[in-house]
Amino acid sequence: MREAEVKAVLIDPQNGAPVIILRDRHSSKVLPIWIGQAEAISIATVLQKQPFPRPLSHDLMKSLLDAAGAKLEKVVISDLKENTFYATIYLRTADGQVKEIDARPSDSVALALRTSSPIYISEEVFAQSAIDLPAEELDQSPLDEKQRFEEFVDKELNLSEFKRYID
Amino acid sequence: MREAEVKAVLIDPQNGAPVIILRDRHSSKVLPIWIGQAEAISIATVLQKQPFPRPLSHDLMKSLLDAAGAKLEKVVISDLKENTFYATIYLRTADGQVKEIDARPSDSVALALRTSSPIYISEEVFAQSAIDLPAEELDQSPLDEKQRFEEFVDKELNLSEFKRYID
């Protein structure tokens, strides 16, 4: 498995659909996953540290887990079938059991960010769908990296409208 | 407190915002609450018994609660401040405690429908915001009730684009 971080939330100008970019922590590869509007907003508010005045669905999800004494161990982008990514949430219950729960990647990532839980990508999904970032990108200063990432987004992902960037 | 049921999910043509209509089970009054798009879709899929192929956020919320051994006791539309409705979720944890969790009405209703939990409106909110349905409405046949409800929606709520009706 590959440990990943959320590098960005972008908007696909072709159809207005948001895309999250998951970056492998130990290589220059990224995994783009198209997600829903509400989940994208939910993820972006955490990345930008701008909480809504009222709890969003994933804030409530975290409150419910806290109240139930359950903890998110990790989330895994576990499968890809017919162009749909699948995720699995590993939940440790109050009595110490670990349960596996089927989820969408968007919900899983939105919840993982709120609970500071690690995000993994299965080797199989990674091999099928990860895309190379230019190798030099790793050696750049933050500003250069940002520019290079924007170029990568334009060229490789064909997303010309770059909405949000998170280092 | 008033026990309520979800009578309809409508679309406000002025701004495209969805509205849920909560109806008092023991009177002819209803409470309209404007909610988000994603939450409206989530509520409508349950009312229409048309689940999505992948779990929506509230389906996941239910799965997490099931895994944690926690049960939704009830949800209450508890407060109205500066035009914003507040809800409280009463959760019974695996060890028998009942915890109160702050939530939006939309998330609360979406989750209550999935767990067959009762939905209540506080007397204070009800007194402030409930609207009368025409009294005769209660005596009509199902088709008449539907027509009367549509008239009510057009006239009282000023929502001319009637999207979904649930008896």
Q: How far is B159 from chain A (nearest CA, A)?
A: 24
Residues of A with CB under 8 A from a CB of B: 36-39, 53-55, 57-58, 60-61, 63-65, 67-70, 84, 86, 89, 91, 93-95, 99, 101-104, 107
Q: Name the burial class of residue B121, with classes exposed (0-12), middle (13-18) and buried (19+) by CB atoms within 10 angstroms of its CB.
A: buried
Both structure tokens of B30: 């209803």
Q: Which of A39, A60, A102 sits opposite B55 (nearest CB)?
A: A102
CB-based contact B64 A65, cutoff 8 Å:
yes
- The phi and psi torsions of B83 (rounded to 5 degrees) equal 65, 10
3-state SS class at B100: strand
Q: Which of B65, B99, B102 sits opposite A55 (nearest CB)?
A: B102
- Name the packing angle between helices A57-68 and B57-68 (round to 10°): 0
The 10s digit of each residue's pLDDT in B131-150 is 987 554 444 455 566 676 67
Both structure tokens of A60: 């409530």
Q: Let me know: does B41 contact B138? Beta carbons within 8 Å.
A: no
CB-based contact A68 B63, cutoff 8 Å:
no
Beta bridge partners of A100: A90
Report ipTM (2 d.p.): 0.86
* DSSP assignment letter at A105: H
Q: Tens place of pLDDT for every residue, chain A, 167 residues?
A: 999 999 989 887 777 789 999 999 999 899 999 999 899 999 999 998 888 899 999 999 999 999 999 999 999 999 999 999 999 999 999 999 999 999 999 999 999 999 999 999 999 999 999 998 755 444 445 556 667 667 766 666 655 444 444 33
Picking from A145, A67, A8, the residue whose alpha carbon sits closest to that of residue B61 is A67
Both structure tokens of B13: 């043509």
Sheet of B84-92, strand order: B98-103, B84-92, B71-81, B119-121, B2-12, B17-24, B29-34, B131-132
Q: Give the pLDDT confidence score for residue B138 in this predicted structure.
A: 47
Cα A135–chain centre separation: 21
CB-based contact B64 A107, cutoff 8 Å:
no
- Residue ranges per domain, chain B? 2-166
CATH entry 3.10.690.10 includes domain B2-166: yes
Global confidence as pTM: 0.86
Q: How many CB pairs under 8 A join A and B?
A: 103
CB-CB neighbors (< 8 A) of B68 in chain A: 64-65, 68-70, 91, 93-94
